[in-house]
């Protein structure tokens, strides 16, 4: 895929001393925006995720290109195989750092000190360098020494306590959201530090923690607890603050109906042939619907069950009531809107399709044209 315009971060050099997902996700986003991202990998082994399969990717000549997982978060980068445990490797890395702007690293706290590459040393040797450290628990606090994994963070952050059916066990998300959110927040922090460097002339050390990021995105659930002192519970597909806002069974499948205001609720009632429910004092306002959820939901569910999903979806769309199907991934990539937006594409020279960046600037999607690099290319 070719870009017609200069991308925003062209000219920025990023050294990625990171593996698995959070750090590489940040690096991939910066590469999509035009930065030169040089990924430092262990000779002969590479990033852990090169082995995280199946599925594995095979090149046109039958060569092993590693696991699909690796390709999901390393688009647009260059790979350099350097053993930083050796003097020669440290010298080679420092040569790259001499004209770098950013380092992304996800070693355990203090893990780079034995190589003379810890953030404090890097900042002293390269004052304009922005060093972004990504760890499970941050650089300070009683857990700083611990290794952090997304699954553990989803558990410890409270996320899993909110996810799953009310009478079932806590559930993790199907995606490593703690890693991904930390990668996104890291990219925002790096851009902010670059802006500050442009004003003040100094680099920075950014301290990013998976636990911090996952707690930060508890959003309304955290606010509900802090405001009320009531610990939120799992609600399945239901919403803690809005009703009706959940999955409903239709005659031939399931449909998510997400009523965001009282006007939409009244339209839903009219479509279902029960306009009086729209003005019933028990249900007329969202606060009333929350209070009387256990009465309202069975009434709506009985009416919705008589509809075919497609027919009801079209009826709701015509009246501006938000609704949508629960797609599997085959359905996602066949969806006309996803197709029209170009969310599936084939990077130049890549053996598999990739998922595009969601960022569009002046009508151009910000995507690194090249796929993930072979080890030490």
Query: Known catalytic residues?
Result: 179
Tokens representing 177 are: 């959201």
Look up tokens 């600037």; give the residue: 361
**How far is residue 327 from each of residues 158, 254, 343, measured CA to CA in Å?**
27, 10, 15
CA pair distance 372, 351, nearest whole angstrom: 10
CA pair distance 125, 145, nearest whole angstrom: 25
Rounded to the nearest 5°, which phi and psi values hold at 376?
65, 30
CB 234 within 8 A of CB 166: yes
User: With 0-12 CB in 10 A as exposed, 13-18 as middle and 19+ as buried, what is 231?
Assistant: exposed
CA pair distance 346, 356, nearest whole angstrom: 9
> What count of residues does the chain have?
377
The answer, yes or no, to whether the previous bond of 329 is cis (omega within 30 of 0) is: no
Closest CA to 309 of 257, 259, 269, 251: 251
- Strand runs (DSSP E) across the chain, as ranges? 13-17, 36-41, 56-58, 64-67, 78-81, 102-105, 130-135, 204-209, 245-250, 253-258, 323-325, 344-345, 354-355, 360-361, 364-365
Count other C-beta atoms under 10 Å from residue 169's C-beta.
9
């Amino acid at each position: 895929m070719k870009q017609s315009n200069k991308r925003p971060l062209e000219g920025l050099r990023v050294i990625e001393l990171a593996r698995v997902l959070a750090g590489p996700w940040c690096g991939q986003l910066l590469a999509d925006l035009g930065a030169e991202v040089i990924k430092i990998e262990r000779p002969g082994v590479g990033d852990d995720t090169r082995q995280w399969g199946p599925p594995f990717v095979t090149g046109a000549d039958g060569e092993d290109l590693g696991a699909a997982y690796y390709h999901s978060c390393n688009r647009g980068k260059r790979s350099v195989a350097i053993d930083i445990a050796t003097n020669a490797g440290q010298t080679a890395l420092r040569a790259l750092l001499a004209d770098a702007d950013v380092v992304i690293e996800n070693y355990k706290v203090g893990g780079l000190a034995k190589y003379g590459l810890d953030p404090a040393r890097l900042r002293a040797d390269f004052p304009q360098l922005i060093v972004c450290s990504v760890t499970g628990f941050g650089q300070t606090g009683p857990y700083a020494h611990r290794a952090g994994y997304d699954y553990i963070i989803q558990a410890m952050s409270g996320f899993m306590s909110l996810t799953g059916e009310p009478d079932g066990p806590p559930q993790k998300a199907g995606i490593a959201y703690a890693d991904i959110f930390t990668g996104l927040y890291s990219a925002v922090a790096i851009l902010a530090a670059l802006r500050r460097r442009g004003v003040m002339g100094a680099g920075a050390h950014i301290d990013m923690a998976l636990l911090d990021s996952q707690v930060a995105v508890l959003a309304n659930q955290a606010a509900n607890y802090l405001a009320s002192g009531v610990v939120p519970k799992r609600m399945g597909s239901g919403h803690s603050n809005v009703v009706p806002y959940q999955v409903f069974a239709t005659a031939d499948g399931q449909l998510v109906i997400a009523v965001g205001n009282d006007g939409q609720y009244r339209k839903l009632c009219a479509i279902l042939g029960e306009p009086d429910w729209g003005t019933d004092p028990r249900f007329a306002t969202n606060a009333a619907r929350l209070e009387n959820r256990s009465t309202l939901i069975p009434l709506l569910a009985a009416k919705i069950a008589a509809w075919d999903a497609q027919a009801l979806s079209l009826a709701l769309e015509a009246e501006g009531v938000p609704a949508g199907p629960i797609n599997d991934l085959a359905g996602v990539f066949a969806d006309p809107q996803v197709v029209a937006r170009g969310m599936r594409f084939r990077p130049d020279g890549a053996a598999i399709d990739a998922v595009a960046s969601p960022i569009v600037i002046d009508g151009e999607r910000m995507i690194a044209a090249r796929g993930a690099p072979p080890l030490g290319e």
